[in-house]
Structure 1
Amino acid sequence: MKTVKVVAAIIHNDNKIFATQRGYGEFKDGWEFPGGKVEPGETPKRALIREIQEELDTTISVGEKLHCVEYDYPTFHLSMECFWAEIISGDLVLKEHEDAKWLSKEELDSVDWLPADLELVEKIKENM
């Protein structure tokens, strides 16, 4: 089975976490943490900075890694490194996503997360 290596940003501010809703593809309408694929030769942190700049027109600082999700979808294996992140500059412009929300710890279960992100949501709750 093919492995897809991705990174995800857990962007936090004022005890809330930024969540995005996919606007395209096989998982359209599912909620996730923003990020994307790691390009060959790219470090996970550098990939995350690039992806957030491309997808949300925002510059972030990447902090500690919270978790690495290993999840088998029907057609591929997802390896997702997840990092805490903070906004340096930008307004989180949705270029590829359908919707976005700032969620408190109590609100994290209020959206329909993609299957691979459910494990991460639990880790975030433990660390908020």
Structure 2
Amino acid sequence: MMSAPILVVAGVLTDGDKILITQRFDNEGGLWEFPGGKVEQGESEPGALVRELWEELGIKVKVGEYLTETLHHYPAKSILLKSYRCELVEGDIALHCHQAKAWITPSESDAYTFSDADKPLVELLKNK
């Protein structure tokens, strides 16, 4: 039996009509994703997102509208990914946990290979 899903939060930062995506290192698959990470015990989802974006990108954000959630089953684990719009409040994006970043319009997303858990969010943003 598979254990309970891992709760993960992702932030959708926007700049005009563009959204921020980040690319994992090649030894982690090199896939594109929305930045974020695991919610630690005792943390709220917005609190985890603020912490993760500070750790991963060196930026302070204000967490806004809840967008969607996706449950994805990988061979070794399940991920429950909850996504929120975020507003950049302070800082310049620095890549601490990723090899690349891109600001793209949702319609440009087909040119990038996203992690399976992120694909439904990409489709949601393309159709908004």
Q: TM-score, normalised by structure 2?
A: 0.94
Instruction: Name the CA distance, whole Å, in 1 between partners of 2:68 and 2:106.
Output: 17
Matched, 1:83 2:100: no
Q: CA deviation at 1:35?
A: 0.1
**Equivalent residue number for residue 18 of structure 2:** 16
Instruction: Name the CA distance, whole Å, in 1 between partners of 2:59 and 2:93.
Output: 6
**1:89-109 deviations in Å (ceiling 9; x for gaps):** 111100110101000122111
Is the Cα–Cα contact under 8 Å of residues 33 and 117 in structure 1 kept in the other structure? yes
**Equivalent residue number for residue 50 of structure 2:** 49
- CA RMSD for the aligned pairs? 1.1
- Structure 1 residue ranges, 4+ long, deviating more than 3 angstroms after superposition: none
Equivalent pairs counted in the alignment come to: 126
Instruction: Name the CA distance, whole Å, in 2 between partners of 1:119 and 1:72.
Output: 13
**Equivalent residue number for residue 5 of structure 1:** 7
Instruction: Name the CA distance, whole Å, in 1 between partners of 2:98 and 2:51.
Output: 16
**Equivalent residue number for residue 36 of structure 2:** 35
Q: Structure 2, unaligned stretches of length 5 or more?
A: none
Q: Which stretch shifts more, 43-52 or 105-114?
A: 105-114
Instruction: Name the CA distance, whole Å, in 2 between partners of 1:88 and 1:33.
Output: 18
**Equivalent residue number for residue 72 of structure 2:** 71
Higher strand share: 1
Q: TM-score, normalised by structure 1?
A: 0.94
Percentage identity across paired residues of the two chains? 37
Residue type matched to 1:47 in 2? A
Q: CA deviation at 1:116?
A: 1.1
Q: Structure 1, unaligned stretches of length 5 or more?
A: none
